[in-house]
Amino acid sequence: MSNALISFYHNLEEPIIIYDKKFDILYHNLSFQKMFADFNGTKGTDCLKKLSYKFSYQMCFLKTDDVKTYNPIISAIEKEVNFTTYTAYQKEEDKFYHFMIKAFSVKKRYRIVYFYDITNELQTEKLKEENERLRIQNIEFASTNSKAQNQAVKMALLNRISISIKNELDIKTLIEKSLKELSIVFGASKSYFAQYEKNNFTIKYTYPEVYAPQIGEKLIYSKNLLDMLHNGENSIQPCVKEHEGASIPLLNSTTRIIMPILKNSQLYGIAVIFTPKKEITALEKELLVGISMVVTSSLVQASLFHQISQKKEELETAIKELKETQLQLINSEKMASLGQLIASVAHEINTPLGAINANNEMMEKVFSNYDPKNIEILKEINSVDKEAIKRITNIVQSLKRFVRLDEATQQEANINEELNLTLELIKHRVKRGFEITKEYGSIPFVSCYPNMLNQVFLNILMNSIHAIEEIRNKNDGYLGKIKLKTELEGDYLKISIFDNGMGIKEEEKKKIFQTGFTTKKRGQGTGVGLAISKKIIEKHKGKIYFKSSDLKDKEGYKTVFIVEIPMF
C-alpha cells in the first residue's frame, strides 16, 4: 500500500482497519489505536480477537443470503460483500459505545472497515423521545378537567411522596425530605420546619439551605391560627410578613401555607411553605391533606423505631450487666461453698500437720540420743511425714484448682478427673458412715468450662451429703451411699450422681432450680446453688434434671441428679 494512501487514512477522524489479504497484513490508523486501546498487534486477524470479544451485534445488513451469526469484527474482515452493522462496544465494565461499522473491498485485495461513532446520536435520540413523551403527558394532564383524572394525578403524586418518605426512620431526614417534596409540589420560593415546644415554634430545618440562618428563629402566630394548627387544620392565606413577629416584610405578596404535623394526636411542629401562587386549587388542597397524613404516619413510625432502638440498647446493656452479675453470683456461691468447707478443711490439714510436728519432736529426741538402732524409727517417721505432706499438698492443689478463674475460655477436660477433684474437696465430709462408689465410663475429653462444672458437681454432692445427714441425725448407724456414674449416650456425655438421702418432697420438686429456694436451715444454705448450676449447664448447651422418690430403688438410692453435656 502506498505511503500517500496510508497518510490519507491516518488523517481521517474515524477509526479504520485496512486488511491486505495477499500478505495477511492488518493496518489501522491513529484514530483506531486511540479509540481501541485493547488492539495490541498489526499482523493477521488473530490480533483482533481480544478486541472482538468486547463487540456484539445490535443490527446487521448484508447484501448476501449468507448471514453469519458471528462476531461483527471478524465478519467485517472475512466478508467479500459490502457489509453494514450496528454494534455495541464495552470499553469498560459500565461504559458502552455504539458504532455503525461499514466494510467493503478494494481491488479484491484490500478490505476496508470504517467505525462510525453513533453513541451521542443514540443518546440524543433517546432524550428527544423522553422529552416528547413528557410533553405529550403534560398536554394530556393540562387538557383534562375530569374529577377521576385529577384524582389519579393526586394519587400519583401522593404515591411518589409516600415512597420517598414513608420508609425513612431518621426523624431529621424525614422532615428534610418532606420539606423538599412540599416545595416541589407547590413551587415554593422557600420553606422551613418549626418544632413546637413549650408553646413556642422554633425553626429547625430550612429548604433550600440558603435560608439556614433562620434556624433557631422563634415564630409568632395569632391565637385563632394556633387553634387551627392544634386541631390539625391547614392554613392557606396571602401574607406580607412571614409571621406576626417578623420585623421585615416580604418583598412580594406571597401565599403562605402552614401544614401542622401531629404526633400521637399532639402538635409536634409545622411545615411552612411560601409560594408565589395566587390561588391554591382544590386538588392542591386535597393533596396537602394527604401529604400531612403521610408525614404524620411516617413520623409516628420513625418515633417508634427510635424508641425500639433505644429499648434495644437498654436491653443489651441490661443483658450485659446480668451476665456480669451472674458471673459474680457464681463466684459468690463458690466462695459460700468454700466457706462451708473451710472449717473441715482446716481440721483436715491440722491432722497431718500435727503428725509432722510430733515427728519433729521425736526426731529431736532421737538425734539427741543417737543410736544406730534408731534408724528404723527415723525411717518410719519419714514415711509418716511423706504421707502427711502428700495429704496437705492434695488439699491445697484441689482448693487452687477449684477456685481458678478461667471462665472466659473453654478447655478440653476429662470429666472423670474433674469429679475426682471435687470428691477430694469433700473427702473429709464422707470419711465415716459413707460409701462412695464410682462407675466411670471410658469417655473422651469434652470442651467445657471445667471450674464451672466442678461448681455444679460440688453443689449436687453437698446436697446429697446434707440429705443423708438428715437421716443420720435420727439414725446414727445409717450408711450413707453416693454413686457417681459417667457414660456416653448418643451425642451427650451423661453424668449421674445418686444418693440414699431423704429424697425430695413432691411439693418441693417444682422449686428445686428456683433462685432463693432451700430446704436447709438458715445459715446453712444460700438457695442459689442449683439455680446457678442450671445456668452453668445451659451455658454448655446441656441439660440438668433429677428423679426422686420416697422409696429406694433396687440399689438403695432415692435421688439421682443427671447432667448431660453435648460432645459437639
pLDDT in tens, 450-490: 888 988 998 899 999 999 998 988 888 899 999 999 999 99
Q: Superfamily for 148-308?
A: GAF domain (3.30.450.40)
- 47 vs 88, higher pLDDT: 88
* Spatial CA neighbour of 62 closest among 53, 72, 48: 72
Determine the pLDDT at residue 61.
47
Sign of the torsion formed by the C-alpha atoms of 58, 63, 65 and 69? negative
**H/E/C letters for each residue in 6-40?**
HHHHHCCCCCEEEEECCCCEEEECHHHHHHCCCCC
Is residue 331 pLDDT above 90, yes or no? no
CA distance 98 to 119: 5
Sketch the domain layout of the chain as residue ranges.
3-122, 148-308, 404-566
CA distance 307 to 129: 49
Q: How high is the pLDDT of residue 30? A: 83
Provide mean pLDDT across the span 302-329. 73
Find the mean pLDDT for residues 253-282.
Answer: 85
63-77, 164-178, 186-200, 214-228: lowest mean pLDDT where? 63-77
Highest mean pLDDT among 127-141, 284-298, 392-406, 476-490 belongs to 476-490
Return the pLDDT at 435.
Answer: 94
Q: What is the pLDDT of residues 239-251, one digit of tens each?
A: 888 888 888 888 7
> What's the whole-number average pLDDT of the chain?
79
Would you list the DSSP string of 381-408? Answer: HHHHHHHHHHHHHHHHHHHHHHT---TT
- pLDDT-based confidence at 63, cuts 50/70/90? very low
SS3 247: coil
Cβ atoms 235, 300 nearer than 8 A? no
**pLDDT band at residue 447 using 50, 70 and 90 as cut-offs:** very high
User: Are 3-122 and 148-308 in the same CATH fold?
Assistant: yes
Mean pLDDT of 63-69: 47
* Cα separation, 303 vs 171, whole angstroms: 7
Is the preceding peptide bond at 208 cis, omega within 30 degrees of 0?
yes
3-122 maps to which CATH number? 3.30.450.20
- Count the alpha carbons within 13 Å of 340 in the hemisphere toward its beta carbon: 21
CATH superfamily label, 404-566? Histidine kinase-like ATPase, C-terminal domain (3.30.565.10)
The predicted-structure confidence for 384-432, as pLDDT tens digits, reads as follows: 777 777 777 776 666 666 555 445 578 899 999 999 988 988 887 888 8
pLDDT at residue 64, as a whole number: 43
pLDDT: which is higher, 44 or 112 = 112
Region of 433 (left: φ > 0; alpha: ψ -120 to 50; beta: rest) is left
Q: Which triple of cell numbers denotes residue 558? A: 432415692
